[in-house]
Amino acid sequence: MTARLRLAIVVPFLDEERFLGELLCSLEAQSRRPDQLLLVDDGSTDASGALAEAFSLQHPWATVARRPPRPPRRDRLAGGAALQAFTWGVDQLEPDWDVVAKVDGDLRLTPATLGTLETAFLRDAALGVAGAFISAPDGAGRPLRQRLPRDHVEGETKFYRRECWQEIEPLPAILGWDTIDLVRARLRGWRTQSFEIPGGDPLHLRPMGAHDGRLRGYRRWGRCAWSFGEHPLHVLAVAAQRVGDEPRLLGALNYLAGWAGAAAGRAPRAEAEVCEYVRRDQLRRLRRRLARGAGVRGAA
């Protein structure tokens, strides 16, 4: 008999009427469907709750849960609302899961996504957190893969082995939680990795900052960098790398402004061991890039 894990998916959503239907269709089309799908309505005022209810009535492996009302916030993401909705959802699941995943409501998964990640967990007992490489539409609407190291896992698809999850939670409900979780896992001996999905990357249908402004999205990204302890030299390197991204120069400047504002205001951040790990790792990567650059110039 083929080995199989009990796979639970939690989808927190808030006013995702435009995209949620596409995610649900892509979950239905998976070559390996989830054993549990919990759709967590985090206070929607549009038709996304009705979409989730209709889907759950047609699929016995899907259920809907509604979060208790919360006071409104100026920036929902800054308060870690999606993480809070996810962790609340994990507590509502049937307890026999082996892997639990947070999947965003504005994704379109390719059919082999869940099967590929289940296979990765089965093959590697040390794999604690996994996800898919993600693409998003560029300015012309063409899919463009989001840049990230292979050992990073984007927040849109986060798959946690039960034992790893139990060692790293509770996660702080702050910007940057989706890097803090990876570092905590590595510090405890787990591997983290993003995987190529046969048939193409899952597509993030909403580009960064689309719901409340692209420049605000860059500033939020800078605040994330402060939260998990990014080294100042790495902050500058990332800003330089992003100078040519749209909106040209402004994105990089807003990223720097977000980091500097968080630093000046002493915004909440991860525990010291996480920040120290991040800084050491980033300096190592920077030295490696410089060495490669020097080697190329020497060969020329």
The predicted-structure confidence for 277-300, as pLDDT tens digits, reads as follows 999 999 998 998 888 876 655 555
> On the CB side of 211, how many CA atoms lie within 13 Å of its CA?
14
Band of the pLDDT at 3, cuts 50, 70, 90? confident
What is the sign, positive or negative, of the torsion defined by CA atoms of 136, 138, 142, 145? Answer: negative
* Distance of alpha carbon 188 from alpha carbon 150, whole angstroms: 19
Q: What is the mean pLDDT of residues 179-191?
A: 98
Q: Do the Cβ atoms of 109 and 19 come closer than 8 Å? A: no
CB proximity list for 75: less than 8 A, separation 6 or greater: 212, 220
Work out the average pLDDT over 132-148.
87
Average pLDDT over residues 198-211: 80
Task: Report whether 133 contacts 147 (CB < 8 A).
Answer: no
Average pLDDT over residues 84-100: 96
Q: How far apart are CA 108 and CA 24, in angstroms?
A: 8
Q: Determine contact, residues 202/145, Cβ cutoff 8 Å.
A: no
Residue position matching structure tokens 């698809």: 157
Secondary structure (DSSP) of the chain: ------EEEEEEESS-TTTHHHHHHHHHT-SS--SEEEEEE-S--STHHHHHHHHHHH-TTEEEEEPPP----S-TGGGTHHHHHHHHHHHHS-TT-SEEEEE-TTEE--TTHHHHHHHHHHH-TTEEEEEE--EEE-TTS-EEEPP--TT---TTEEEEEHHHHHHHPSPPSSTTHHHHHHHHHHHTT-EEEEE--TT---EESS-TTTTT-HHHHHHHHHHHHHHTT--HHHHHHHHHHTTTSSSTTHHHHHHHHHHHHHHHTT-----HHHHHHHHHHHHHHHHHHHHHHHHHHHH-
Phi, psi for 104 (deg, rounded to 5): -70, 150
pLDDT, residue 207, reads 62
d(CA 245, CA 254): 12
Q: How, if at all, do strands 191-195 and 127-132 pair? A: parallel
Q: Report the pLDDT value the prediction gives residue 263, as an integer from 0 to 100.
A: 96
- Cα 16 from chain centroid? 17
What is residue 219's predicted lDDT score, i.e. its pLDDT? 94
CB 247 within 8 A of CB 214: yes
**What six digits make up the tokens of 197?**
């999905």
What's the confidence (pLDDT) of residue 245? 84
pLDDT of 208 strictly over 60: no
Q: What is the topology classification, in CATH, of domain 7-204?
A: Spore Coat Polysaccharide Biosynthesis Protein SpsA; Chain A (3.90.550)
Q: pLDDT: is 297 or 269 the higher one?
A: 269
Alpha-carbon span 118 to 33, nearest angstrom: 11
Which regions of the chain carry the CATH code 3.90.550.10? 7-204
Q: Which residues contact 228 (CB under 8 A, 6 or more apart)?
A: 176, 179, 180, 183, 269, 270, 274, 275, 278
